[in-house]
Amino acid sequence: MPSAVIITGPGFQDHDVVYTYYRLLEEGWHVDVATRNGADVIGKYGVPLPMDKTAKPLVAFDQLDAAAYDAVILTGGHEAPDRVRQDAHVLDFVRAMDREEKVVAGLCHGPWIMVSAGVLKGRTACAYIGLRDDVVNAGANVVDSDVIVDGHIITCSYYAYVGRFMRAVFDTVAEKAGQTRSAAA
């Protein structure tokens, strides 16, 4: 069973986390959600984490281990990624995922974390207009697109494209595992 961790914090973009979390579960993935100290947080529009009574406790940033995951999902919401990218544990984890060529996927403002981790240099990426300059200054070749897959690095320019973003995550992980994904996304 593939596994992923969604990394976020207070003020996350609610639908980014809700959609990615339940799509991962729907595909049969093991899913963790990580926050600083594993603390409960509230999204921009009031969605709490953990989201429901079936959700597992949140994972603390200092417990993240690249060996445990096939993919990391970095969600948006402006406030959350800006806070998260200041955490050394998260940056070390994202760098480890990149070194191991595991899927590192950033949605909307999520690539800010990728910028701070230094994993976009020399990559082709797309970017939300509000962080385009940051992604360019991080050394990425930024193109105007909904979703870009560059090897194991996936970027999505806006949350309206989250369906395509998740298909790219599923397809890239399956491809890396030498499988063909047959489930409808």
Of residues 15, 78, 108, 156, which has the active-site annotation? 108
Say how far apart CA 9 and CA 77 lie, in whole Å. 9
DSSP conformational letter for 16: H
DSSP conformational letter for 146: S
The residue with tokens 């949140």 is: 58
Looking at the DSSP bridge assignments, the partners of residue 32 are 5
Closest CA to 116 of 143, 89, 142, 141: 89
Q: Is 109 a catalytic residue?
A: yes
Of residues 15, 109, 126, 152, which has the active-site annotation? 109
Q: Is 108 a catalytic residue?
A: yes
Q: Hey, which residues are catalytic here?
A: 108-109
